[in-house]
Structure 1
Amino acid sequence: MQLSVFKNSTAVITAVFILMTISHSNAQEKPTVQKSQFKINVLLPGFVYEHGLSDKNTLYSELSSGYGYTSNSFGNTWTFYPYINEQFRHYYNLEKRAGKGKVTSHNSGGFIAMSAFYNFRSISTNDTFLPDNASITIAPVWGFQRTYKGNFNLDLNLGIGYNFDKNDSELVPVLNFTLGWVIGK
């Protein structure tokens, strides 16, 4: 009789241990986005703050500068303008990357996002040459972000958007590429 009680309690203890191990290992395998991270861009000087809203979603806020080239009957010129970029991002492949042993820290993964750019009026344009106006672009984008050793960060996203200002509206390609560093851990 004591032997069967021992066998039953051993089976129960083994089952509980297996269930605890499985639930603990599943909890470790589910990567999530950072609750908050701050980045500095060097390619297009600016700042980014990305706030985690849930396990896979973030609000990305960027204040940066952009450059453009314009050509018309008066000649050619480069423009320089500040912009704000707000994105609601959904990181879709964090589990797959973690399963392959790839890095997911600092939101290293692929994402889809709804993006809204506000391009301020160019600060380097002569009104006689080009009366450049502020504009807004709304676009769905696909992209990826990677953070490497030393917190070096690369972020690329692209899509097709709708741009409008006080004079015109049109479909435009959207490309946002940043190089910089994640500040902090």
Structure 2
Amino acid sequence: MKKNYLFLLLSVLFVNAIQAQDEAPRAVAKNQFKINLLLPGFVYEHGFDAKNTLYSEVSLGFGFSANSNSSNFAVFPNINEQFRHYYNLEKRADKGKRTARNSGNFLALNAVYNFESISTNVDYREAVPSFTVAALWGLQRTYKGRFNLEFNAGPGVNFDEYDTEFTPVVNFTLGWVIGK
């Protein structure tokens, strides 16, 4: 009878030890590299502490505008920097949800610089460089196989050669986390 209790106790400890190894991380990844597919680009996200990261992206942006006389399609390189605060990693981990590779919700301060267009219609308003700052709410999910989905949105202000205007900022990306 004592052997059965001992066996049961050791079994429970063994199962708990295995589950503890699979427990979801409660902190952001120290270094994370991604490749984005929709707007082709590369991302590096550096974790400063348990909840804060600096997100740096270099990618291509696409734009289209039209009026009654002509239309313009623009392709432009851009740099996107965000200071992110992941606020729900503990809550997700407690519910048994995935938090690996910064899978969580965040608030961010965003700054984007769009370079001059490398493809534009000169008969239409030229696509000039611009700078946008915004406050964002977003979510990032990295699934098994390292498939990554990200969405963020919020109000922003855009500055360019012609004017300064309030603008909605919306970003949706699909890609893969690379490296460890």
TM-score between the two structures when normalised by the length of structure 2: 0.84
CA distance, structure 2, for counterparts of residue 99 and residue 121 of structure 1: 46
Q: For each residue in 1:78-137, what CA deviation from the matched residue of structure 2 results, as whole angstroms up to 9, or x when unmatched?
A: 211111100000000000000000010000000000000101111111333222210000
Paired residue for 1:55? 50
Aligned counterparts of 1:135 and 1:29: Cα–Cα separation in 2: 40
Shift in alpha-carbon separation, 1:118–1:154, aligned structure 2, 3 A: same
- Match among 140, 152, 160 for residue 155 of structure 2: 160
Aligned to 1:149: 144
Report if aligned partners of 2:83, 2:108 keep a CA contact under 8 Å in 1. yes
Stretches (4+) displaced over 6 A: none
Distance 2:52 2:30 in 1: 10
Partner residue in 2 for 1:130: 125
The alpha-carbon distance between structure 1 residues 75 and 59, as it changes in their structure 2 partners (threshold 3 A), is same
2:122 and 2:72 map into 1 onto residues whose CA distance is: 12
Measure, in 2, the Cα distance between the counterparts of 1:30 and 1:72.
51
Secondary structure at 2:101 match in 1? helix
- Cα drift, residue 74 of structure 1: 2.9
TM-superposed CA distance for 1:72, in Å, is: 2.3
Equivalents in 2 of 1:156, 1:46: separation in Å? 15
Displacement after TM superposition at 1:184 (Å): 1.6
Equivalences, count: 159
* Percent of aligned pairs with the same amino acid: 61
Q: Is the 8 A contact 2:33 2:43 kept in 1?
A: yes
Q: Which position in structure 1 is the counterpart of 2:176?
A: 181
The secondary structure found in structure 2 opposite 1:32 is coil
Q: CA RMSD in A?
A: 1.4
TM-score by length of 1: 0.82
Q: Which runs of 5+ in 1 are unaligned?
A: 1-24
The one-character-per-residue Cα deviations of 1:113-169 (angstroms, maximum 9, x if unpaired) are: 000010111111133322221000000000000001110001110001000012211
Distance (whole Å) between structure 1 residues aligned to residue 123 and residue 24 of structure 2? 59
Mapped partners of 1:145, 1:30: distance in 2: 15
Gaps of 5+ in 2: 1-19
